[in-house]
Amino acid sequence: MKTSRFHIVDLAGSERIKDTGAEGMRVKEASMINKSLTVLGQVIYDLSENPNSILNETMTKKTTKHIRYRDSKLTFLLKDALGGNSKTVMICNVNPHIDAMKETRSTLQFA
């Protein structure tokens, strides 16, 4: 039996707070978005390290690395799409303007 899920996640809002001039609740919201993106990046990095081949400290036995999906609601909701037997596509929107170079570089590194 085959099943499928389709997630569309808009990760916009991760702009640097000082560049946007955000204040009050927007700062808190941007902070939480940035935290979620950091956790997502760490989960993707941990998964890309092939957790089935990580050796323990004595280099004698293979162990699996714990992936911290529960550190963020975003990663918890995307757990099935990120790990296991799944195909995932990431679409990134970048800006070619010189003023957006830092954000574009950051987006491409994340992807």
pTM, to two decimals: 0.70
Cα–Cα distance measured from residue 42 to residue 102, given in angstroms and rounded to the nearest whole number: 20
- pLDDT digit string (tens) for 41-65? 888 888 887 655 444 445 555 556 7
CATH architecture of 17-110: Up-down Bundle (1.20)
Which residue has better confidence, 54 or 28? Answer: 28
The length of the chain is 111
**Rounded Cα gap, residues 16 and 104, in angstroms:** 12
**What is the reported pLDDT for 55?**
43
Per-residue model confidence (pLDDT) at position 16: 67
Task: Give Cα 103 distance to the centre of its chain.
Answer: 15
- DSSP, collapsed to helix, strand or coil, labels residue 55 as strand
Q: What element of type H or E holds 9?
A: none
3-state secondary structure of 54: strand
| Distances in whole angstroms, Cα of residue 95 to Cα of each of 25, 34, 58 | 27, 19, 47
Residues 72-108: pLDDT tens digits? 999 999 888 887 777 888 888 888 999 888 888 888 8
CB atoms within 10 A of CB 38: 14
